[in-house]
Structure 1
Amino acid sequence: MTNRHRFGAAFSFVALAAESVLFATPEAVAQQTCSCLATVPSIAGAVGRLTQVQGDVQMSQADGYAGVGAEAPVYSGARIITGTQASASLAVGTNCTFDIPANTTIKVDPVEGGMCVSLYTPAATVVPATSEPGMLPVLLGGAAVGGAAALAIGMQDDDDAVSR
């Protein structure tokens, strides 16, 4: 393999690796982290409750999601979703309380020693309305196309080592 081919192969690998990292969604690379580790008594039943509900708030039930109101019990494994103009307050165990803003999902999962309460806010709601797309996606797209072309050139058999 000539130096030109080695460079092409290395360039394409770096370009494709950078693109996969930069364009991966946060959900694809995020690991579950507990916003709060709730201490919950070992008795079966509800692990918490919604103390306040405004607007469209849904919670996972045995047969899907259903709208809930204030004082609704929260069980292990629950998923709570707030709508675009909704909010809620949640108390889990003896030490976790949350104000849940609009467009948010709360997960309440059992872990060793209690309940892991995780807060997820979609990345799309974090982008300011006045932001404009930058040049980075265009440059990375060009680098990916160039890398793919370099890889194709690098994979060619030039027959350089054969004498005629």
Structure 2
Amino acid sequence: MFAGSAAFAQAAQCSCLAAIPVSGSVVGQLTNVQGDVRMSQAGGYTGVNGEAPVYSGARIMTGAQASASLVVGTNCAFNVPANVTVQIDPVEGGMCVSFDAPQAAVVPAGSEPGVLPVLLGAGAIGGGAALLLGLQDDDDAVSR
């Protein structure tokens, strides 16, 4: 009973719950490695210089100017940015892929930035400017 609740609690923190094929010990693939990318191995962390298989329990760390593409299972694909640690842990029903960075920093592979954040940012700047102009004392003699 407790094992199921622990697996559920961990799965609730997953960025993606990967469906894993029954056969084979490799659960994913790391590709498009650029910069300082390290992955945990039996003897500690080792550098990744290209493509590398990903195993259950792996930890992947990207350096300050590094990035990589990560695919786990049949349904989880991410572009991993700089300064992130990714954890791939077994949970009931598959592999939990989680990140130690703010969710906004981790972009699912294949997604494109939208126009909405740009419009919202521009609207906030324009609204702030309008507020400042409205509060400005322009010396109108209305109440003299």
TM-score by length of 2: 0.61
Share of identical aligned residues, percent?
Answer: 68
The aligned counterpart of 2:26 is: 46
Per-residue deviation, residues 79-128 of structure 1 (Å, max 9, x unmatched): 00000000011000000001101000000000000000001127xx9xxx
Aligned length: 93
Q: Given the alignment, which residue of 61, 64, 78 partners 2:58?
A: 78
Structure 2 gap ranges (5+):
1-8, 106-144
Between structures 1 and 2, the one with greater strand share: 2
Partner of 2:35: 55
Instruction: Provide the rounded CA distance (Å) in 2 between the counterparts of 1:102 and 1:37.
Output: 22
Segments ≥4 residues shifted beyond 3 Å: none
Tell me, what secondary structure is at the counterpart of 1:51?
A: strand
RCO higher in structure (CA 8 A, sep ≥6)? 1
Once the two structures are superposed, the pairs formed by residues 95-134 of structure 1 within 5 Å of their partners are: 95-121=75-101
Whole-angstrom CA distance in 2 between matches of 1:117 and 1:59: 14
Q: d(CA) in 1 for partners of 2:89 and 2:59?
A: 9
Give CA deviations for 1:13-37 in whole Å, capped at 9, x if unaligned: xxxxxxxxxxxxxxxxxx8510000
What is the alpha-carbon root mean square deviation over aligned residues? 1.7
Check if 1:69 corresponds to 2:79: no
